[in-house]
C-alpha cells in the first residue's frame, strides 16, 4: 500500500527526513556575534554554513563586524582565518590582543582566495573564516560559476566552523544567511569607541534559510 502524496513542500521535506534520517544536516549551531540586531533574529552565524555579509555602502561597518567577531572568538580562544583577497586588512586598527589568534592570508586575486578558502575550510583547527571579497575584481567574481559556491558550502558542512564571505553585492548563492550593511558611518564615528560602534550596527537580514532538520521539525 502506498502513502498518499504529500500536500506541500514542507510535508515533502518532513517525509524525506523520516525516510532518510542519515542525510539530514546536523542541527543548526551558531556563533553568537554579540550584535543584538543580528543575534535576536538568527541567533548568530550558523556553523557549518556560509554567511554572506553584503556591504552595499562605503564605510558601512563590514570590518567593524569582523572586529566584533575577532573579539568573540578571542574570548573563547578559537582560531580565526582572514582570507584577504584585496590585501586590505590593517592590523594597526586592532589591539594586539585581538589578533593573537588570527591567521591573515594576503591574497592577490579571487582565484587565490577561493583556493585558500577551499584548503582552510577543511582544517579542523579553525573556528571562523572570513573571506573578504569586497574590493576584489568584480568581473572575476561574476564569472565564477555558482557551482564553486555550492562546492564550498559542501566542504564547510561537515566542519564546525563559520565561513563568512564579505562582498559588495550579493554573490554567494549557497549562503545560508545573508545580511546587508547599508548605513555609512559619519565622521563622528572616529571619536567613538570601537565596541560602542559595533553595538550600533544594524545588519538587515536578507536571507535566512532554515536547515533541512529545522524544516523537518516544523
Question: Toward another protein, which CB reaches closer, 40 or 190?
Answer: 190
Q: Is residue 121 within 8 Å of 164, Cβ to Cβ?
A: no
- Which of 27, 186 has the CB closer to another protein? 186
Give the residues lining the site for another protein (CB under 8 A): 55, 57-64, 66-67, 74-79, 87-108, 112, 115-116, 119-120, 122-125, 134-135, 184-187, 189-195, 197
Closest CB to another protein among residues 21, 88: 88
Phi, psi of 139 (to 5 degrees): -65, -45
Q: For the residues of 136-148, what is the DSSP string, one character each?
A: S-HHHHHHS-HHH
Q: Can you say how many angstroms the Cα of residue 179 is from the centroid of all Cα atoms in its chain?
A: 9
Quick one: 24 or 168, whose CB is closer to another protein?
168
Least Å distance, CB 101 to another protein, is 4
| Alpha-carbon span 77 to 146, nearest angstrom | 34
d(CA 196, CA 184): 15
Amino acid at each position: 500500500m502506498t502513502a498518499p502524496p504529500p500536500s506541500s513542500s514542507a510535508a515533502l521535506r518532513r517525509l524525506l527526513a523520516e525516510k532518510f534520517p542519515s542525510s539530514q544536516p546536523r542541527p543548526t549551531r551558531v556563533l553568537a556575534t554579540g550584535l543584538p540586531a543580528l543575534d535576536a533574529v538568527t541567533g548568530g552565524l550558523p556553523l557549518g554554513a556560509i554567511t554572506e555579509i553584503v556591504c552595499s555602502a562605503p564605510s558601512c561597518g563590514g570590518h567593524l563586524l569582523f572586529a566584533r567577531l575577532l573579539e568573540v572568538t578571542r574570548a573563547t580562544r578559537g582560531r580565526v582565518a582572514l582570507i584577504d583577497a584585496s590585501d586590505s586588512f590593517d592590523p594597526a586598527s586592532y589591539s594586539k590582543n585581538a589578533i593573537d589568534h588570527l591567521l591573515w592570508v594576503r591574497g592577490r586575486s579571487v582565484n587565490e582566495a577561493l583556493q585558500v578558502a577551499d584548503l582552510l575550510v577543511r582544517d579542523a583547527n579553525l573556528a571562523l573564516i572570513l573571506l573578504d571579497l569586497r574590493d576584489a575584481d568584480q568581473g572575476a567574481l561574476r564569472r565564477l560559476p555558482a557551482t564553486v559556491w555550492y562546492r564550498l558550502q559542501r566542504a564547510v558542512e561537515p566542519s564546525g566552523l563559520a565561513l563568512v564571505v564579505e562582498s559588495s553585492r550579493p554573490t554567494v548563492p549557497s549562503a545560508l544567511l545573508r545580511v546587508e550593511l547599508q548605513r555609512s558611518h559619519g565622521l563622528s564615528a572616529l571619536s567613538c569607541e570601537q565596541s560602542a560602534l559595533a553595538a550600533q550596527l544594524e545588519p538587515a537580514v536578507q536571507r535566512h534559510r532554515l536547515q533541512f532538520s529545522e524544516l523537518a521539525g516544523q
